[in-house]
Amino acid sequence: MRVTSLLIGILLSLSLGAAHGQTYPSRTVKIIVPFGPGGFTDVVARVLAQKLTAEMGQAFVIENRAGAGSTIGTASVAKSDPDGYTLVMVSTTHVISPWIIKDLPYDPIKSFSVISKLADSPYVLLVNPQKNSARNVQEFIALAKANPDSIHYASSGNGSSQQLMGGLFVSMTGAKLKHIPYRSSSLAMQDLVAGFVESSFAGISNALPHISSGRLKALAVTTATRSSQLPDVPTLQEAGVKGYDASVWLALLAPAGTPKEIVNRLNAAVAKVLVTPDARKALSTAGVDVSLSAPEKMTAYMQQEYEKWGKVAKETGIKVD
């Protein structure tokens, strides 16, 4: 009798899960963006929400819940019911935060069910040519080694992806750069263009107008392949920093325990709507390229990224108090 009851329970659970997957969504779905409005994460989220609303027949709405390096909004989702109606869009900072913020109230991997990777974006190493004479990466490294801590690199803040990109560069090359944190990437870019700092690892969409005008010089992109938006700019690997490969990625997550049927339904819908020409164009304008994955593959990738950036944080001593 006990065995029979157990089998009935398992079959009932499976059938209910399948039913949930077939009827989902039956009401509004909320996507938490743990950053302020206007950034590329927010832009991508709004494109995705609009597309999913049309595809799935229920409203997908964006709620910006910024603060504490994206951890406030993310923590709220980790504590939400695992029913598919509260999701979060995270970036690379999701796997960086545990290494630099004490007492994080969630595990970046175990506290979530991955729905899909969404996009990738390279950063670009920039210099102000009026303040730094380097014509290429090797000259930049040589100048930094010859003049320790005299070349500054700007970022959007302590513990930001921009800082970690620079930290990885420092650890791999031995270049002695001095980090200057700002309150936002726009403020960091403003001071780079003005010449108050000499260099930065910046998002391509923010950098393009200044590269085109000649106010900034692009030395290399951070990914293993060149950017379609800067096809003439080499990768750091091509420029001699062997093994350097880093990007800012975006992913859509749900709370851990979300039924597999709902995860799979969302994954399929995301894959369908983001490959449309207008979605690709909108994301390209925001400075990112569509990059999709199965939940299992993205979970494994996040684990790899967690370990990689943890190593960088340890080697550079980056912490957020």
pLDDT value of position 245: 94
CA distance 155 to 241: 21
Report the topology of domain 122-221.
D-Maltodextrin-Binding Protein; domain 2 (3.40.190)
Distances (CA, A) of 222 to 153, 155, 198, 226, 305: 15, 15, 18, 9, 15
pLDDT value of position 321: 61
- Contact assessment for residue 178 and residue 202, using Cβ atoms and an 8 Å cutoff: no
Is 122-221 in the same CATH topology as 2-119+248-316?
yes
pLDDT tens digits for range 56-105: 999 999 999 988 878 999 999 999 999 999 999 999 999 999 999 988 99
For domain 2-119+248-316, the question of CATH label 3.40.190.150 is answered with yes
8-state DSSP, 136: S
Does residue 219 have a pLDDT over 90?
yes
Average per-residue pLDDT for the chain: 91
Q: Where are the domains of the chain?
A: 2-119+248-316, 122-221
Which long-range contacts (C-beta less than 8 Å, at least 24 apart) are formed by 20-25? 20/84, 20/259, 20/261, 20/262, 21/259, 21/260, 21/261, 21/262, 21/264, 21/265, 22/261, 24/84, 24/261, 24/262, 24/265, 25/56, 25/57, 25/58, 25/84, 25/85
Q: What is the reported pTM?
A: 0.83
CA dihedral 217, 220, 221, 225 (to 10 degrees): 140
pLDDT band at 8 (very low <50, low <70, confident <90, very high): low
